[in-house]
Chain A
Amino acid sequence: MTRFVRHGAGGVRLAVGVALGALTSTAELVFLLLTGPVLLVRRTPPHFVTAAARRLVRIERTRLTALLGAGENGEAGDRRVLAYLAVRWPVGLLGGGVLFLLLYGAVTTVAVLAGWLYGGRPDGIAPTWPILVYLFAAATVLLFLDLAGLAAVAAFERGLVRRFLGPDERALMRARIAELSASRAGIVAAVDAERRRIERDLHDGLQQRLVALGMLLGRARRNESRDLLRQAHEESRRALEELRDIAWRVYPAALDDLGLRDALATVAERCAVPVRVHCDLPDRPIKQVETAAYFTVREAVTNAAKHSGATLIDVSILRRGTLVIVMITDDGAGGADPGGGGLSGLARRVAALDGRFRVSSPAGGPTVVTAELPCA
């Protein structure tokens, strides 16, 4: 029953939409007839013409979205707006014609039935069974054709609006290509930065330790000193720790074996500031997303611990539809620079996965770093 009502309401909305469309198309026809000569003379349409055209188009859009279920809303140029009006008005008039036929059929049916009920003979035809059956069948077919016509007009209107006023497919593609080029260049830059960082890590950390170790051993041999030997032994342990540390910074093996939650637990343990991790994922996301989420958290946590003076860092990771949402909040001083090395690298990493990356860090805090990673 409710479905029937809903369909009925939809039908009425459609009919009203088409009726209004017939009215507006008359207005558009008048407009085009008045401005046609101007448009023919001037290559670029004058402002008052385009303004009026846009107003008409706004009315059309409102009608289409409210009554005929069109959805697209793109930004159209002057030429496309005028072209739309020029192509659209006949469709509006066609809709008017279809509606007229519907009304005409309804009036005729009512008139004939009323005539028979009051004992008259409309057009000199008596209501015999064969006649009744014949007329009923014809009326049903005509009604069906008419309703189909209404639906077709509405579909036609929707198609025109998409074609002329919707987002231009080529513009969309161009934008997408630009976006892809940018994110590709970004990821290359991010990889290079990462490599530089690893090289620096190796040299400034590990190599120094090994050279110092060699030096200690050299001195120990020259002086035959047990104490220097002991120091060298200590130093070798530290060099190993350094190596483990660098390897972990390059890529934490736990991320592959144990997943995000365990890898992040290590990040929390290693951080000087308390970190609360809330990881609520129904299943393991694809590897790229997992890695991106992990590095986003680690970089943001490192940043917060280093620069913000935070006393608590909150990390939350959850699934919303096809998105994995990573959010790092700290109660520090704010003023984080999204263009800084670490954060811009993260932004590039997230962009390469078609995700969204936002940093909100007003002076006085709190700083919130959010990454939305599509995971379809």
Chain B
Amino acid sequence: MRVILAEDSTLLREGLVRLLAEEGHEVIAATADAEALLTAVAADPPDVAVVDVRMPPTHTDEGLRAALDIRRRHPGVGVLVLSQYVEKRYATDLLSTHSRGVGYLLKDRVAQVQEFLDALERVGSGGAAFDPEVVRQLLARTTHVDPLNDLTARERDVLAEMAQGHTNLAIAGRLHVSRSAVEKHINAIFDKLRLPRDGGYSRRVLAVLRYLGS
């Protein structure tokens, strides 16, 4: 995959460049701030832009704004946002405008090399990737009218896996059940949450997340 990085910590930037190179990805550019990132993406659109939320000059949410910008201007480029904390608003910002090729990971997740690489692959191929922690927090909103309360424990597990952007096949593997069982659970979830049954898995994930984050 062709990747552009934006991360202000030299240490991490270098580490990411090496890791991606070892995995056979091509790092087109590695930048240290949002402006350089936008310039690099415009010059040569990659498959994925990996973007740190906090970057100079203000160290607040430059990276997120740049990511939204990229999604708006270059719909073909996937964005994988790395954040210091789980910020629900960031997740919902990313989700509310785009339904494909977005990811939102906790920065620490990068240390789980395999999970990070999987997320990168999913986002790069037009899917979605959400940090388990993000999903956990979004799912934790339980109110008395929350339709999630209707879900069985198993359905919740499936929903959480799905929300992270995993395919049905992957979910079956992760939960040690058959693929058809997973499909049955998913249909049950959609019925309970009154979601339309169409589109690819990422759209369904995003619909679920959007529903939770609204």
Contact = CB atoms under 8 A, between A and B. Distances in A.
Contact of A215 (B54, B59, B110): B110
Give the dominant DSSP class at B's interface: helix
Contacts of B108: 207, 210-211, 214
Interface string B137-180: 00000000000000000000000000000000000000000000
B12 A218 contact: no
A67 interface: no
A208 interface: yes
B109 to A, nearest CB: 9
**Interface size bucket, B side?**
10 to 19
Interface string A100-121: 0000000000000000000000
Contact of B111 (A203, A204, A211, A223): A211
A215 B107 contact: no
A200 B59 contact: yes
Nearest to A196: B59
B9 A215 contact: no
Give the dominant DSSP class at A's interface: helix
B113 A222 contact: yes
A216 B111 CA distance: 8
Contacts of A216: 15
A303 B89 CA distance: 37
Contacts of B16: 215
B195 interface: no
A218 B18 contact: no
Contact of A207 (B18, B19, B59, B84): B84
Interface in B12-59: 12, 15-16, 18-19, 22, 54, 59
B110 A214 contact: yes
A212 B59 contact: no
A115 B174 CA distance: 132
Interface string A189-231: 0000000000010011001111111111111011100000000
Interface of A: 200, 203-204, 207-219, 221-223
29 contacts: A200-B59, A203-B84, A204-B9, A204-B59, A207-B84, A208-B9, A208-B11, A208-B12, A211-B12, A211-B108, A211-B111, A212-B12, A213-B111, A214-B110, A214-B111, A214-B113, A215-B12, A215-B15, A215-B16, A215-B19, A215-B110, A216-B15, A217-B111, A218-B112, A218-B114, A219-B22, A219-B113, A221-B113, A223-B22
Given A208-B11, A213-B111, A214-B112, 14 more contacts: A200-B59, A203-B84, A209-B11, A211-B15, A212-B11, A214-B110, A214-B113, A215-B15, A215-B16, A215-B110, A215-B113, A218-B111, A221-B113, A223-B22
Interface of B: 9, 11-12, 15-16, 18-19, 22, 54, 59, 84, 107-108, 110-114
A-B residue pairs, 9 tightest by C-beta: A214-B111, A218-B113, A208-B9, A215-B15, A212-B11, A212-B15, A211-B111, A208-B12, A211-B110
